[in-house]
Amino acid sequence: MAVRKVLRMTFADAGGNRFIITIPDPRDDLTQDEILSAMDTIIQKNIFQGRGGDLISKLDARIVETSSTDYYNP
């Protein structure tokens, strides 16, 4: 069984749209403070823009683990 782990950070842009950044294979010892600090930096420096403009607030941050089992892989 393969397990995939990603950090998913969700922001709101100026138009009220959600903007999601997904980072594969986050460190196992990643802290909430580090994640929130990174999100603040992304917002403050306007690193990304959503469909509705600048990212203006944090909505959510989570580690998502997905497992898969191959039954056939030629």
pTM of the model: 0.88
Band (pLDDT 50/70/90 cuts) for residue 49 is very high
pLDDT in tens, 29-46: 999 999 999 999 999 999
Sketch the domain layout of the chain as residue ranges: 2-66
Band (pLDDT 50/70/90 cuts) for residue 62 is very high
pLDDT at 74: 83
pLDDT over threshold 90, residue 56: yes
pLDDT over threshold 90, residue 11: yes
Q: What is the dihedral of CA 34, 35, 40, 41, to 10 degrees?
A: 70
Q: How far apart are CA 64 and CA 2, in angstroms?
A: 14
Q: Which two tokens stand for residue 3?
A: 């397990």
